[in-house]
Amino acid sequence: CGSSSDGGNGGSGGDGLTMGFAQVGAESGWRSANTTSIRETAKKDGVDLKFSDAQQKQENQIKAIRSYIQQKVDVIAFSPVVETGWDAVLQEAKRAKIPVILTDRAVDSDDDSLYVTFLGSDFVEEGEKAGQWLVDNAQDADVDKNGDVNVVELQGTTGAAPAIDRKKGFEDVTSSDDAIKIIASQTGDFTRDGGKKVMEAFLQSHDDIDVVYAHNDDMGLGAIEAIEAAGKKPGTDIKIITVDAVKDGMTALSEGKINFIVECNPLLGPQLMELAKKVVAGEDVPKRVVTEETTFTQDQAKQVLADRQY
C-alpha cells in the first residue's frame, strides 16, 4: 500500500474499482470485525464498495450476487454462508465475465473455474489445534476424575465450511485418545444466544460434562451464561475451548472462564483489496491465500488483551 497517511483516495490504485461484497450477516463479534475491516480498507484504498448483509440466509446472498452482476461491478467478493449450492449463480457471474473472490469461507464445487481465488483461514487446522490442546490437557480436563473426558460440541452454522472443518479437525486429533468422548454435538448457529440455548439443553440431559468445544467465541460466551445459571463455574467445573479470539472471548479467557482459544483472523480487508486490484488488472493471483493465526492460553490472553483491537 502507498505511504500516504491522510487516509484519502489515490495512494493505492483502487480508484474507480467497484466491488460487490455479499456478507454472511452480523452473527458474531468475528463477523463485525470482518465487516469493519472490509469497509475501512475499501474506503482507504478508494474502492467503491457495494455491501449487503444476508442475515445468514443463502437466498439473500444469491440475490445480492445477482444484483451485483446486473450492476456490472468489476469484481464480486463473498463469504458463502454454506458450502454447497453456488454453481448456478457463479456460472452467471462467469458468463458476465465478472471475477469472483471467495473470502473467509469456501464453496464445495467441482468447478474451481467459478472463482479466481479463496482468501481465508484453514479451518481444519483450527479444529486440530483445539483438539491438540485437549489431548495435551486431557487429565486436567477430566474434571470429575472418572477416566472419561466428556465433551459437548457447539457447532457453527449447519453446512458452513468452518462448522464442517472445525468439527473434522477436532475429531481427527482427539480420536487418538480413547478417554476423550464427544457425548453431544449440536449447532448454535455461531450466535451467543444459540450457544446459550443449546448448552442449557446439554446441561439438562447430561450431568457429566467435562468440556465444551465451541466453534466460535460467541457460542462459548453463551455457554458460559448457561453454565453459571446452572450454578457451575465455567473454566473450572467445565473447561471451555473456543475459536476466534475476539475481544470478548479474550476477556473471558483472561478471567479464567475460557481455557483455550484458537485464533481466527477476521481482518481480511487489506489482503482482499490487494487481491481485487490484481485480479481486475488481469494479474495472476494464487488460487488459495491462507491467513496466519496463533492460539492463546489464559496467561497469553492476559498479556495481549489491552492491545486487542477487536
Residue 213 makes contact with ligand GYE by CB under 6 A: no
Residue 216 makes contact with ligand GYE by CB under 6 A: yes
Residue 128 C-beta: closest distance to ligand GYE, Å: 15
Residue 85 C-beta: closest distance to ligand GYE, Å: 17
Residue 78 makes contact with ligand GYE by CB under 6 A: no
Cα atoms in the Cβ-side hemisphere of radius 13 Å centred on 248: 14
Q: Take residue 42 and report the three cell numbers written for it.
A: 475499501
CA distance 276 to 121: 18
Contacts 24+ apart (CB under 8 A), 39-42: 39/269, 40/269, 41/269, 41/270, 41/272, 41/273, 42/14, 42/269, 42/273
Residue 127 C-beta: closest distance to ligand GYE, Å: 11
Cβ distance to ligand GYE smaller for residue 74 or 126:
126
Angle between helices 247-254 and 29-45 (to 10 degrees): 130
Cβ distance to ligand GYE smaller for residue 116 or 130:
130
CA distance 65 to 286: 23
Residue 190 makes contact with ligand GYE by CB under 6 A: yes
Residue 56 makes contact with ligand GYE by CB under 6 A: no
Residue 162 makes contact with ligand GYE by CB under 6 A: yes
- Tell me, residue by residue from 1 to 40, as one string, x for binding to ligand GYE by CB under 6 A and - for no binding: --------------------------xx-xx---------
Residue 210 makes contact with ligand GYE by CB under 6 A: no
Q: Under rule CB under 6 A, which residues in 100-139 are in contact with ligand GYE?
A: 104-105
**φ, ψ at 290 (rounded to 5°):** -100, 135
- 150, 206 Cβ separation under 8 angstroms: yes
Residue 264 makes contact with ligand GYE by CB under 6 A: yes
Of the candidates 260, 177, 157, the residue with the CA atom closest to the CA atom of residue 217? 260
Residue 244 makes contact with ligand GYE by CB under 6 A: yes
| Chain mean position to CA 5 | 30
* Footprint on this chain of ligand GYE (rule: CB under 6 A): 27-28, 30-31, 104-105, 162, 190, 216, 218, 243-244, 264
